[in-house]
Chain A
Amino acid sequence: MQTKLYRLFSSVRLAIFLFLALAVTSIFGTLVQQGLPLERYEKIFSPDVFVVLKFFNVFDMYHSWWFTLLLVLLSINILACTFKQTPRVMNLTFPRKREIDDSVFTSSQIRKTWHSQQDLSDLEEQTQVLLKSLAGTPVQVKKINDARYFFAERGKYSCLGMVFVHVSILFILGGGLIGTIWGFSGQMNVVEGTTSDTVLLFSGTGTEKLGFDVRCDDFTVDFYEMGMPKEYRTDVTILEGGKKVASGTIRVNHPLIYNGLKFCQATYGIAGIDNFRIVVQNSRTGKKTGLTMGLMEKAALPESTASFAITRFVPNQGGEIPAVMGVLLEPGKAHDIFWIEKNKRKEKGDFTFTLQDFDKHYYTGIQVSKDPGVPFVWTGFSLILSGFILSLFFAHTRVWLRIAAVQGGYEISLAADVSKNKKVFREKLEGLIGTLQQGGAA
């Protein structure tokens, strides 16, 4: 039973199945939008379908029990395969003893036998050169009975490449698990000039207290001439117990890192508008007056008994133009309500109003995340890349050679094992032996 289970979990068949199962199931999560409140899905799907989808947690499927199960199975599969391969790989990479067995000369995929009548010393010299150009490294010599044995090897560490690649996946999945358990991510919206210490979690499980305050000193957004956003920028100060401990700028792609937490620029919005600058001209007297006022503030108009207030602001009246709703109050008359668009004169009664400018207060949306799994994931990424480099750019080449005395000369047998590009190796071998035999004949 144990061996059967082990055989199953260390099988490549299971790996292929899991790869394809993960691939196919992952598609669902890209078709059904993830992570919305349940009520939204209830409206979209019929009750029966909803129950089934809810059971399989299709609404947050990448964190569902069955998807996690597939990932756990994959991890076990990788572990078992690595365990199974370890003895073979270790033996290839760090062999205890180099036994030269005559069987390689009959069993290897690449082998070659030829005869020579040259002196043994000449032959030895020639074959050393041959091995050197085939497998590079210096040559080991052994003498057993009358025969001389040589061995050359190159790129043995390339065997470790695949081990690295497989172990890297464990690091990445492990890092992901650590992040899920001990990490969090959420967002905090901070109005310019105010502080906050609370993050609203994306998982919908409430809030997280940071234990320090984040103050938004300034938020700016720049645009290109063509109207596309150029830069979002938040200047923040970190305060602990009211004392400034750090400050910095958060821009998109340039997060601030403090206390193991990453602060990224995520969104922004307008929190409030005030200091409306309004120029009022009294058309009877011609006098111009500049008013600076907030929403729902009343101001007396010059050389008149009337007063004026702003009751509403819209950022995009009739398209792009910001506008305020003004109210003109004159004793004995009904309120007169009208829109004043920015930089457009508006005549009303005895007055002409122009909205010149106003101050915007932004809030900045900062994404806060903590993920202690990241170093593991980065380790995994480095491992997988070094593994690929090892197995892509290096090939394990082993060449065995035997010179044995036979009647009328020597028989030279060569056997080789290369982990890839067998065809190229064969061509090279043929070429080298060709020149060797020509040289021998001459």
Chain B
Amino acid sequence: MNDTFFVSIVTFAYFSAAFVFLVSFIFEKKCIDTVAVVITVAGLVIQTLALIIRWIHSYQLGIGHAPLSNFYESLVFFSWSIIFIYMITRKRYGNTITGTLATFFSFLILAYASLSGKVDCRIQPLIPALQSNWLISHVISSFLAYACFAIAFGTSILYLVKRRTGKWNIAQLPDAAVLDEIMYKMISIGFVLLTLGIITGAAWADRAWGRYWGWDPKETWSLITWLIYGAFLHARLARGWKGIKMSLISIIGFLAVIFTYLGVNYILSGLHSYL
């Protein structure tokens, strides 16, 4: 069975989960939240299976490699990462509304990957530059970092909504302090993962291109992202900044993430042309 078939099931599952999370959020019903979690976990399991199937399938085609090597595969893995990060941090930092955001965001990414004609979902062989043991660790750490930043981004938007709607407050939203804490935790974890992503990328670049750092646009933008979140953490930890200012930095940081992921490849040119 083709992995793209499973991906379409997962797309539907995340959409349903987002809807159920939203219902649970509006009516503040714990049991509905549980239903949403069950759907999300089922989606995650099927998506993991789809990744494994695609991996096996690539070996059957004689061009075996981890399914992390082109735009389609990166989108699928990005959506997987968001749900994965949400599920493992849910116990401590998660709640119904961030669940809505995480599943809906993953749904959008998968829908784009499947429905946009621009994304080629075929399994392609690896060009020489990508034939490296660093591929898996570099891609996984980078996308897990992106996922943390995506959740932090969603939370900062919620924070701003919470603060701006003082008069006709959305009562169901968690306290501003809780949202602020989730944003901070997600950015801390994401920052460490991004550092790991940059380091594995540097180690790889040293072997593939003969230098660990060359100010290629992708490298530079990953550094810009790192610096923005680095500034965020210093402002928070050492200067005690909280609230709206931090939400804004988090939003700017996520714009940098998106630019690092997509903008560099579509607008600028460089060595890192395979996303």
> What is A's interface to B at a CB cutoff of 8 Å?
12-13, 15-16, 19-20, 22-23, 26-27, 29-31, 34, 62, 176, 185, 224, 226, 228-232, 251-255, 262, 264-266, 367-369, 371, 374, 377, 381, 384-385, 388, 392
- Extra contacts, 16 of them, besides A19-B234, A385-B195 (Cβ < 8 A), are A13-B239, A22-B223, A23-B223, A23-B231, A29-B220, A185-B210, A229-B128, A231-B128, A251-B128, A253-B208, A264-B209, A265-B128, A266-B209, A367-B209, A385-B196, A385-B199
Contact A230-B209, Cβ < 8 Å, known A16-B235, A62-B215: no
Bound-state Cα–Cα, A251 to B130, Å:
12
Give A164 Cβ to nearest chain B Cβ, in Å: 12
Asked if B192 and A252 make an inter-chain contact with CB atoms under 8 angstroms apart, the answer reads no
Q: Is the Cβ of A252 less than 8 Å from the Cβ of B131?
A: yes
Smallest Cβ distance from A440 to chain B, in angstroms? 32
Given known A-B contacts A176-B213, A369-B211, A384-B195, A230 and B125 have beta carbons under 8 A apart: yes
**Chain A residue with minimal CB distance to B231?**
A19
15 pairs of residues in contact across A and B, judged by CB atoms under 8 Å: A12-B234, A20-B231, A27-B224, A29-B215, A62-B220, A185-B210, A255-B210, A264-B208, A266-B210, A368-B210, A369-B210, A371-B211, A374-B212, A381-B199, A385-B195
Verify if B121 is at the interface (C-beta below 8 Å from A): no
A26-B224 contact in complex given A16-B234, A374-B206, C-beta closer than 8 Å: yes
| CB of B22 within 8 Å of the partner chain | no
Q: Are A228 and B223 in contact (CB under 8 A)?
A: no
In the complex, per-residue mask of B94-128: 1 if CB is within 8 Å of any chain A CB, else 0: 00000000000000000000000000000011011
A254 and B199 within 8 A (CB) = no
With a cutoff of 8 Å between Cβ atoms, the chain A residues found around residue B195 in the complex are: 384-385, 388
A284 to B238, CA, bound (A): 94
A384 to B195: give the CA distance in the assembly, Å: 9
- Cβ of B234: which chain A residues have Cβ within 8 Å of it? 12, 15-16, 19
Q: How far is the CB of B75 from chain A (nearest CB, A)?
A: 21
Question: Are A224 and B220 within 8 A (Cβ)?
Answer: no
Q: How far is the CA of A62 from the CA of B217 in the complex (A)?
A: 12
Distance (whole angstroms) from the CB of B126 to the closest CB of chain A: 8
Smallest CB gap from B181: residue in A:
A423
Interface residue B9 (Cβ < 8 Å from any Cβ of A): no
- B: contact size bracket: 35 or more
In the bound assembly, the distance between CA atoms of A308 and B61 in angstroms comes to 47
- List A contacts of B264 (CB < 8 A): 30
From B131, B188, B213, B227, give the contact of A253 (CB < 8 A). B131
**Please, which residue of chain A has its CB at the minimum distance from the CB of B128?**
A252
Chain A, Cβ-Cβ closest to B263 = A30
Contacts of A230 in B (CB 8 A): 125, 127-128
**A15-B234, A264-B208 in contact; A30/B268 too (CB < 8 A)?**
yes
Q: Which of B204, B213, B215 has the most CB of A within 10 A?
A: B215
CA–CA, A232 to B204, complex, Å?
A: 17
Inter-chain contacts of B217 with A (CB < 8 A): 30
The docked-state distance in angstroms from the alpha carbon of A293 to that of B175 is: 84
Residues of B within 8 A of A377 (CB): 202, 212
Q: Given A19-B227, A26-B224, A388-B192, do A232 and B128 touch, yes or no (CB 8 Å)?
A: yes
For the complex, give the distance between the alpha carbons of A264 and B211 in Å. 10
**In whole angstroms, what is the CA distance A264 to B192 when docked?**
30
Check if B63 sits within 8 Å of A253, measured CB to CB. Answer: no
| A76 nearest CB across to chain B (Å) | 16
Cβ-defined contact, A34 with B215, below 8 A = yes
Chain A residues with CB under 8 Å of B128's CB are 229-232, 251-253, 265
Ordered nearest first, which 7 A-B pairs have the shortest CB separation?
A252-B128, A12-B238, A264-B210, A23-B227, A19-B231, A30-B217, A369-B210
B221 interface contact, C-beta 8 A: yes
A392 partner residues in chain B, CB cutoff 8 A: 188, 192
Q: Is the CB of B210 within 8 A of A252?
A: no
For residue B137, CB closer than 8 A to chain A, the reply is: no
Residues in B with CB closer than 8 Å to A266 are: 209-210
In the complex, the answer to whether B221 meets A30 with C-beta atoms within 8 Å is yes
Give A120 to B164 CA distance when docked, in angstroms.
56
Q: How far is the CB of A422 from chain B (nearest CB, A)?
A: 11
What's the Cα separation between A22 and B231 when bound, in Å?
A: 11
Residue of B nearest to A19 (CB): B231
List the B side residues contacting A30 at CB < 8 Å: 217, 220-221, 264, 268
Known: A26-B223, A30-B268, A228-B127. Is A19-B239 also a contact (CB below 8 A)?
no
B71 CB, nearest partner CB in chain A, Å: 15
CB distance from B66 to the nearest CB of A (A): 15
Which parts of B159-199 form the interface with A (CB within 8 Å)?
188, 192, 195-196, 199
- Looking at the assembled complex, report how far the CB atom of B226 sits from the nearest CB atom of chain A, in whole angstroms: 9
If the complex has contacts A30-B220, A30-B221, A253-B208, are A224 and B63 also in contact, measured as CB distance less than 8 A? yes
Chain A residues within 8 Å of B202, by CB: 377, 381
User: Which residues of chain A come closer than 8 Å to B239, judged between CB atoms?
Assistant: 12-13, 16
Closest partner residue, chain B, to A13 (CB atom):
B239
* CA of A266 to CA of B205, assembled, Å: 12
Chain B residues in 8 Å Cβ range of A224: 63, 125
- Closest-by-CB residue of A relative to B223 is A26
Q: How far is the CA of A325 from the CA of B192 in the complex (A)?
A: 61
A253 CA to B138 CA, complexed, in Å: 14
How far apart sit A253 and B235, CA to CA, in the bound complex (Å)?
Answer: 39
Q: How far is the CA of A233 from the CA of B196 in the complex (A)?
A: 30
Looking across the interface, which residue of chain B has its beta carbon closest to that of A60? B215
- A27-B227 Cα distance, complex, nearest whole Å: 12
Would B227 and A22 count as touching, CB distance under 8 A?
yes
Q: How far is the CB of B239 from chain A (nearest CB, A)?
A: 6
Q: How far is the CA of A252 from the CA of B203 in the complex (A)?
A: 14
The smallest beta-carbon distance between B122 and chain A, in angstroms, is: 9
Contact partners of A27 in chain B: CB under 8 A: 224
Q: How far is the CB of A112 from chain B (nearest CB, A)?
A: 23
Min Cβ gap B16→A in Å is 33
Give the chain B neighbours of A251 by CB distance below 8 A: 128
Q: Are A20 and B228 in contact (CB under 8 A)?
A: yes
Are B210's CB and A384's CB within 8 A?
Answer: no
